[in-house]
A and B are shown apart, each in its own frame.
Chain A
Amino acid sequence: MPDDGITIDPAARVIYIARSYAAAVDRAWRAWTEPDQLAQWWGPEGWTTTVHEMDVRPGGKWRQTMTPDDGSTEPVRTVATYRGVARHALLSFIDTFAGEDWSPEGSDFLTDVTFQPTAAGTRVSIAAGFGDDESLRRAVELGMAEGYLEALAKLGRVLDHH
Chain B
Amino acid sequence: MQERLSVIAEPSRFRIVELLKEGPRPVGSIVDALGIGQPQVSRHLRILAEAGVVEATRHAQQRIYRLEPEPLQQIGEWIQGYADLWAGRMDRLGAFLENDDRRERDHA
Contact = CB atoms under 8 A, between A and B. Distances in A.
Given A152-B85, A156-B85, A22 B101 contact: yes
A86 interface: no
A23 B2 contact: no
A140 B9 contact: yes
B64 to A, nearest CB: 23
B1 to A, nearest CB: 7
Given A21-B93, A40-B96, A133-B14, A8 B9 contact: no
Interface of B: 1-2, 5-6, 8-11, 14, 75-76, 78-98, 100-101
Contacts of A45: 88, 92
Nearest to B76: A10
CB-CB nearest 7 A-B residue pairs: A140-B9, A41-B96, A23-B97, A41-B92, A15-B83, A146-B2, A19-B90
A155 to B, nearest CB: 6
A10 B76 CA distance: 7
At the interface, is chain B mostly helix, strand, loop or mixed?
helix
Interface string A40-84: 111111000000000000000000000000000000000000000
A87 interface: no
Contacts of B8: 140
17 contacts: A10-B75, A17-B87, A21-B94, A22-B97, A23-B97, A27-B101, A41-B92, A41-B95, A41-B96, A124-B93, A126-B90, A139-B9, A140-B5, A141-B6, A145-B6, A156-B81, A159-B85
Contacts of B11: 137
Contacts of A40: 96
Contacts of B88: 43-45, 159
A6 interface: yes
Contacts of A28: 93, 97
Which residue, of B8, B90, B91, has the highest number of chain A Cβ atoms within 10 A? B90
